[in-house]
Amino acid sequence: MARILVVDDEPNVLKVLEALLVQDGNEVVAVASAEEALDALAGQPCDLMISDLRLGRGMDGLELLHEARTRAPHMPTVMITAYGTIEVAVQAMKEGAFDFIRKPFRMEELLETVRNALRHRRIATDQAVLDAGEIELHFGSLVGESEPMKRIYGMIERIAKTDTTVLIQGESGTGKELIAKAIHTQSRRVDGPWVALNCAAIPAPLLESEMFGHAAGAFTGATQSRNGLFLAANGGTLFLDEISAMDLAIQGKFLRALQERRVRRVGENTYLPVDVRVVAATNESLAAKKDSGEFREDLFYRISVIPIDLPPLRHRPEDVPLLVRYFCRQQSEAQNRALSIEPEVVALLTEYAWPGNVRELENAIACAAALSEDGVIRRENLPPNIAGSGGAGDTATDHGKTLFTAMDRASGRGKSLREFLREKEREYMRAVLLRTGGNRIKAAQLLGISRATLYRKLEE
């Protein structure tokens, strides 16, 4: 959602502009004079200003443009002018206006100009971020200044002081282990061991021994006694990734270890005390696994005392330019050469949906840096699925395969082209709504349609 300042001394025009821009998913501040516009800018920054050149009283549009550029140099301005004042509009362009629209204007023309101006601002902002100074690393490893990440930082600071079990949930590649490590480094256990285990990487028969240890002769191949990871993490933090993959038989023993704070090695009868803080993580819905009987209910409530839900990267696109710059600097140091990236590429990366999240972005920058011959990352240096995405987030290859498969099915049922296209439109709209978490404003923006059109199509 963009915040747009609209300035026009004609009440009817002001109402039409406000309604049109709000319907397109923007927040609008509508004022009737240049003086009110400057007061609005002083109160809260705006992403774009739309102003009539001829204002009835006080400053005119050109004077407002000059003053606004002084106060908000990165805010683009679109001027509205009548047919008889084109020369003045050209002068406004020379003064720094992004574009001008002639009265009477067409709605689609105005919206297209507004979208282009906002895109221009975003590219300029992204490049400014890339050219800025140091990147703030939160807790030594986390990058991001979006509101969702700031909330995560606040949670880390609060829960690190406790020994309560934490469950981190989020899609693959969102940085769950980094969050867990940040909790450890901020806790009183920072001088104790940090031990990590991927539950999905260990076969179920061996997981018990890996976690609790075993005595010599406990099973074939156990030639000597061995402490498990619980004992190895004594006094520190044990991070269990992909805990949803833990076998039901092991879950009961794990629950007992958490409750009694002691473990029994495989093949022994004695218990050993442990002082361990457990942080678990999963990329699946643990609640759904609990409901289906695949995960113990008592263990679910025991490990999810403090839940942290990590947002996918597509829900915090404002962090993408920061992450791009961070990964570019990493690659620059690794390759021992200066790297830069074209602004259009930053814009593309910001609009891409990132199904693989931060890990996919890191790999994309590593790929592009390796393929760049002159140190400038261009669109053609990106992985093909991203370079050809146009920001949509689906790979061209997969999308093509999906279409061909659907067409084969359609032809088998005698489906018409119109029916096929309507079906694909519905599928794509559902996918976009899922990606935006049901946010219809964001969905309409990604689909490139107005909210009114989206609501109508949803009703259909």
Which of 19, 96, 106, 97 has the alpha carbon at shortest distance from 52? Answer: 97
> What's the pLDDT score for residue 459?
72
> What whole-number distance in Å separates Cα of residue 14 and Cα of residue 7?
7
Stated as kind and residue range, the H or E segment containing 6 is strand 3-7
User: Six-digit token pair at 17?
Assistant: 């502009």
Which stretches of the chain score pLDDT less than 50? Answer: 392-414
> What's the pLDDT score for residue 164?
93
Task: Report the DSSP pairing between strands 237-241 and 194-198.
Answer: parallel
Stated as kind and residue range, the H or E segment containing 333 is helix 320-335
Q: Are 371 and 379 in contact (CB under 8 A)?
A: no
> What's the pLDDT score for residue 92?
78
Query: What fold is seen in the domain 3-131?
Result: Rossmann fold (3.40.50)
> What whole-number distance in Å separates Cα of residue 44 and Cα of residue 196?
46
CATH 3.40.50.300 in the chain: give the residue spans. Answer: 147-311
CATH 3.40.50.2300 in the chain: give the residue spans. Answer: 3-131
Domain covering 396-459 assigned CATH 1.10.10 in the classification:
yes
Task: Report the DSSP pairing between strands 77-81 and 48-52.
Answer: parallel
> What's the pLDDT score for residue 128?
58
CATH number assigned to the domain covering 147-311: 3.40.50.300
CATH 1.10.8.60 in the chain: give the residue spans. Answer: 314-387
> What's the pLDDT score for residue 437?
66
User: Six-digit token pair at 116?
Assistant: 């282009």
> What whole-number distance in Å separates Cα of residue 226 and Cα of residue 248?
23
Q: How far is CA 306 from CA 79, 164, 165, 172, 214, in A?
A: 52, 7, 7, 20, 31
CATH 1.10.10 in the chain: give the residue spans. Answer: 396-459
| Planar angle of CA 61, 66, 70, nearest 5 degrees | 140
> What's the pLDDT score for residue 269?
83
The radius of gyration of the chain's CA atoms, rounded to the nearest angstrom, is 28
Is residue 94 classed as helix, strand or coil in its secondary structure? helix
Q: What are phi and psi of 441, to 5 degrees?
A: -65, -50
Domain covering 314-387 assigned CATH 2.60.40.650 in the classification:
no
